[in-house]
Chain A
Amino acid sequence: MKKTTIITFAVISALFLVSWIAKGMFTEGSSPFLDGFLVTLAAFLTLAIMSFLYKDNPYYKFAEHLFVGVSAAYAMCLGFWSTIVGNLIPRLSSGISEFFKVSYIEGDYNFIYFIPIIFGILLLMRLSPRGGWLSRWPLAFIVGTTAGLNFVRYLRSDFINQVSSTIVPLMIDWQGFGHFFSNLNFSATGQLVMMFSNLVIFIGVTCGIIYFYFSKEHTGWFGRASKIGIWILMITFGASFGYTVMGRISLLVGRITFLFRDWLEIIS
């Protein structure tokens, strides 16, 4: 091991201890040293993750692997207690329900619930070199069910309803130019803005479709519409990019607020 690695580790360990002791001494509550330890640990793990921005290092790797491991373990435990103990066992047997301290749900067809148990066991057969093929049966069931369910739902919500939402009137509440100009306002729910919004939807959808239509050469009016389509797409991607930046900055704000408020206590 390199000398600099050992020195870095020693400095980080010393800083961790100083932070823990300081937090423990100045934190109020029933268990200040435990709270101090947890806040210090969270702060150091945050810094370990951020250290990747400088360059890849073992502290980043440790924090990353810890995060993945803890998340997986947490999800598995929660899944066991909420699905198997919470949903399945109360329908299987009164004895096991009593063991897990959950109320037994009586039903005429409770034997059906043995099917998911068998499928669950078959899924685990993937771990066996000889019985791996058995896991294809539950997988086929999962894929088939998901495809069947999603087909109907997507067709209704993302196709029919979306097409219906796109067909909008270009003239809203039209009672002549006199009425239009006498009630002119720039409110987001006003007649002018609503009509403009619907016009943007109409032009945007039409030109966007034209851009993706490759059976005709993009020249003349068709080419001009295609160009407008590109602009519409670019503006959409720009909006998405802007929102993505906003999301990432929010996460950074969250971590920096934690470091300043909970760890360093320099803001209230």
Chain B
Amino acid sequence: MTVLNPLFAISAQTIGITLTLIIIGLGLAWLFWRSFSGKEVDRRIIFIFIFFSVAAPILFKISFTFKAIPIVSALYDKVESLPAGSTVLISYDFDPAMAPEVQPMADALSRHCLSRDLKIIYMCLFPTGQGQLEETFRTVVREEFPNKKDGIDFVNLGYKAGGEGVLNVIVTDFEKMFPTDVNSVPYGDIQVFDNIKSCQNLDLIISIGGGRPGIKEWVLFVGDPGNVPMAAGVAAVVAPQLYPYFPNQILGLLGGVKGAAEYENKMRDEHEQFKDMPTPATTMMGPQTLAHIVVMAFIIIGNILYFRNKRREEG
């Protein structure tokens, strides 16, 4: 994989990316000239541009490295500071539609917690979250941590319908809402719950999602009333709404695929064992960056033409 730094100090540029940039540059120039000449640009041409700017970096495997911002580092540092044996709850509050964005952060957080010998309680507030949780079990838990035992090192409580109702109960009593885990093992037989009665006994709760119920409901019904340390990994769309909760109501936040990429990079930079770990979010930042450049170019072209036309009308 060709890794470029974010300031475009391109050292080992491939022929692929050169060609891509030339094609996109020429295309944008053509688009600008066409619009400048007063001709209509079909919206489908815009779609082709976006498709090309996303597909080319995927094909040529162009990626970028990122330094974690404080709000991401805060979550990383919290996981690092927890002593072995601490219990973390990770809630999969998302569906396959959100998965490309938040599944990488869910996998990275699971990997980080398990490597630090933290006990994990998995659950979901989205019905389709169960399938995404299974994906983490397949690619991270069973694959990379075969020695970790179900019920002792982690437990999967599965999905429970009710949203806020579920949270309102588990803030005082887990067993009432989850009498068994997803495999029908009774609550009393699950070792992870030996010293855990409710969410208030947890060392950290991480909600991963972007819809409703999600992190906001976790803060409202569990984090604030139970005084439990909360953190989140969310889809980019809702991230700006959650920043005001930092740092008093949530201690860290991974916003969109960029937050996930920053977390992955921090894990790789600070731990030798994660040097070769899969980094899907970092890989996604190549297409992200190029697509954003194209979108910004469209906005600039649109504005230039808008002001030009406005001046002409006034003249």
- Known pairs A149-B164, A161-B224, A253-B288; A247 contacts B47 (CB<8 A): no
Complex CA gap A266/B235 in Å reads 28
CB within 8 A of A86: which of B55, B180, B295?
A: B180
* Complex interface: stretch among B141-149, B237-245, B301-309: B237-245
Is A250 within 8 A of B256, CB to CB?
A: yes
Is A154 within 8 A of B220, CB to CB?
A: yes
Is A79 within 8 A of B161, CB to CB?
A: yes
Encode contact with A along B205-238: 1 for CB under 8 Å, 0 otherwise: 0000010000000011101110000000001110
* Complex interface: stretch among A120-128, A210-218, A235-243: A235-243
Is A246 within 8 A of B258, CB to CB?
A: yes
Q: Is the interface of A mostly helix, strand, loop or mixed?
A: helix
Is A243 within 8 A of B255, CB to CB?
A: yes
Question: Which residues in chain A, 231-266, are within 8 Å of chain B measured between CB atoms?
Answer: 236, 239-240, 242-247, 249-257, 260, 266
Residues of B within 8 A of A150 (CB): 164, 220
Complex CA gap A260/B54 in Å reads 12
Q: Considering the complex, give the chain B residue whose CB is closest to the CB of A105.
A: B179
Categorize the interface residue count of chain B: 35 or more
Encode contact with A along B236-265: 1 for CB under 8 Å, 0 otherwise: 110110001000110000011110000000
- B232 smallest CB distance to A (angstroms): 14
Residues of A within 8 A of B291 (CB): 245, 249, 252
Complex CA gap A252/B101 in Å reads 10
Residues of A within 8 A of B54 (CB): 249, 252-253, 256
Is A256 within 8 A of B55, CB to CB?
A: yes
Encode contact with A along B121-132: 1 for CB under 8 Å, 0 otherwise: 000000110100
Complex CA gap A74/B295 in Å reads 36
Residues of A within 8 A of B219 (CB): 157
- Known pairs A54-B44, A82-B159, A253-B287; A245 contacts B292 (CB<8 A): yes
Is A82 within 8 A of B161, CB to CB?
A: yes
Is B184 within 8 A of A103, CB to CB?
A: yes
Is B180 within 8 A of A103, CB to CB?
A: yes
Is B100 within 8 A of A254, CB to CB?
A: yes
> Is A164 located at the chain interface by the 8 A CB criterion?
yes
CB within 8 A of A78: which of B61, B98, B130, B236?
A: B130
Encode contact with A along B151-164: 1 for CB under 8 Å, 0 otherwise: 00000001111101
Is B236 within 8 A of A247, CB to CB?
A: yes
Subset of 24 A-B contacts with CB under 8 Å? A78-B130, A82-B159, A83-B162, A87-B177, A87-B179, A102-B184, A103-B180, A156-B225, A157-B223, A157-B224, A242-B292, A243-B240, A246-B236, A247-B101, A247-B235, A247-B237, A249-B291, A250-B256, A252-B287, A253-B100, A254-B101, A256-B54, A260-B55, A260-B58
A interface residues with partner B (beta carbon < 8 Å): 53-54, 71, 74-75, 78-79, 82-83, 86-87, 90, 101-103, 105, 146, 149-150, 153-154, 156-158, 161-162, 164-165, 188-189, 236, 239-240, 242-247, 249-257, 260, 266-267
Q: Which 9 A-B pairs have the closest CB atoms?
A: A254-B100, A247-B236, A153-B220, A243-B236, A250-B101, A246-B236, A78-B127, A75-B127, A83-B161
> Other than the known A102-B180, A157-B223, what 11 A-B pairs have Cβ atoms closer than 8 Å?
A79-B161, A87-B160, A153-B220, A240-B240, A243-B237, A243-B239, A245-B292, A247-B235, A249-B54, A250-B257, A251-B101
